[in-house]
């Protein structure tokens, strides 16, 4: 009889989620990634508007991260056209997912088919089977609609919400959250990658109620237009405010000093290292896990996929004993 692997559910979107999955897939775990469908910029946004399908970009990145194919095949899937009037800016993977959705008539079915083609280790589920619009109410009461527009409003976000108001998650998504042994939230943009998943009715509720341990991977840097000057506890409070409940058990934060030359590059984007207010995090009832968990690729700060995956697997092993 085959060994039953521990079940890990990861909730997020954007680059952070893909980076983490590349490390985690090397461990003996059953992975399900729940991915946002609120993206409305770039190639994803164009396909979403023209073909009336959920945006494929974040899903594409996650499929590529979890794939077990020759590097050339992954490169082909991720290839972005830089010529051709109608093709420019589109990635081949987005076009394939769009075509597969047209053929099967169903976005989730298209993801399943692509998962088979790419020999994906684990499951990839969209937060909903339809496109959703992310809206942000700003501190001055104005509302900005559209995930790609929110960070550029120049205003402080009070809260984000989804439309339409009635959005159904996939029954499978609800089931995997209930059965999870570990739930990982992040890393990723707080308001535009993580919260759009948790705000889908039933997903946030099931995460709150789930018996699994919940780990939040805090961002290393703040983000202009989203989390300017945020401390680690500010990130957690924003999650709690939106879910109207404290629901995270452990927070993983970086303790490594960011090199001055890289810091100065980020300062141009009004981004700086997140202040880790450890005592405040503890006062919120959180177990705080600190480590040197960053890597640098072309002067871009990323979470160190292998280090973070190892830490998470360690947490999982503790939970399973």
Q: Which residues contact 116 (CB under 8 A, 6 or more apart)?
A: none
Backbone torsions φ then ψ of 241, nearest 5 degrees = -60, -40
Q: How far apart are CA 25 and CA 196, in angstroms?
A: 24
Q: How crowded is residue 295: how many other Cβ atoms within 10 Å of its Cβ? A: 16
Which of helix, strand or coil describes residue 190?
helix
Average pLDDT over all residues of the chain? 94
Element (H, E) at 265: helix 260-267
Burial class (CB in 10 A: 0-12, 13-18, 19+), 81: middle
For β-strands 287-291 and 143-145, DSSP reports them as unpaired
Which of helix, strand or coil describes residue 99?
helix
Q: Which pLDDT belongs to residue 1?
A: 47
Q: How far apart are CA 198 and CA 127, in angstroms?
A: 9
pLDDT tens per residue, range 123-160: 999 999 888 999 999 999 999 999 999 999 889 999 99
Longest dimension (CA), the chain: 60
Q: Which pLDDT belongs to residue 87?
A: 87
Q: Which pLDDT belongs to residue 71?
A: 87
Which band of pLDDT confidence, cut at 50, 70 and 90, is reported for residue 70? confident
Overall average pLDDT of the 275-288 stretch: 96
Q: List helix spans (H) across 118-231.
A: 171-179, 195-198, 203-209
Q: What percent of the chain has pLDDT over 70?
A: 99
For the chain, how many residues are written? 321
Overall average pLDDT of the 170-177 stretch: 96
pLDDT tens per residue, range 82-133: 988 888 989 999 999 999 999 999 999 999 999 999 999 999 999 998 889 9
Q: 178 with 278: CB under 8 angstroms?
A: no
Which of helix, strand or coil describes residue 142?
coil
Burial class (CB in 10 A: 0-12, 13-18, 19+), 222: buried
Which band of pLDDT confidence, cut at 50, 70 and 90, is reported for residue 2? low
Q: How far apart are CA 44 and CA 52, in angstroms?
A: 11
């Amino acid at each position: 009889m085959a060994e039953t692997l521990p079940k890990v559910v990861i909730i997020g979107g954007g680059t952070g989620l893909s980076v983490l999955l590349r490390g985690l897939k090397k461990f003996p775990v059953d992975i399900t990634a729940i991915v946002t469908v609120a993206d409305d910029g770039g190639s994803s946004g164009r396909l979403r508007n023209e073909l009336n399908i959920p945006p494929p970009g974040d899903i594409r990145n996650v499929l590529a991260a979890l794939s077990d194919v020759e590097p050339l095949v992954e490169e082909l899937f991720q290839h972005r056209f830089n010529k051709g009037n109608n093709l420019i800016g589109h990635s081949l993977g987005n076009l394939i997912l769009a075509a597969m959705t047209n053929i099967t008539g169903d976005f989730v079915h298209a993801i399943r088919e692509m998962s088979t083609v790419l020999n994906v280790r684990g499951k990839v589920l969209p937060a909903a089977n339809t496109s959703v619009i992310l809206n942000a109410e700003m501190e001055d009461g104005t509302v900005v609609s559209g995930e790609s527009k929110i960070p550029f409003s120049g205003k402080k976000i009070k809260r984000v919400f989804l439309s339409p108001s009635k959005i159904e998650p996939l029954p499978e998504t609800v089931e995997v959250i209930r059965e999870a042994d570990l739930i990982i939230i992040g890393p990723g943009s707080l308001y535009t990658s993580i919260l759009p998943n948790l705000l889908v009715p039933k997903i946030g509720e099931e995460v709150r109620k789930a018996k699994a341990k919940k780990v939040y991977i805090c961002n290393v840097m703040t983000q202009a237009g989203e989390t300017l000057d945020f401390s680690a506890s500010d990130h957690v409070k924003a999650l709690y405010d939106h879910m109207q409940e404290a629901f995270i058990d452990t927070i993983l934060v970086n303790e490594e000093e960011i090199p001055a030359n890289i810091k100065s590059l980020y300062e141009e984007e009004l981004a700086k290292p997140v202040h880790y207010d450890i005592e405040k995090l503890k006062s919120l009832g959180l177990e705080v896990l600190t480590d040197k968990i960053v890597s640098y690729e072309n002067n871009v700060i990323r979470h160190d996929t292998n280090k973070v995956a190892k830490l998470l697997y360690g947490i999982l092993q503790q939970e399973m004993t």
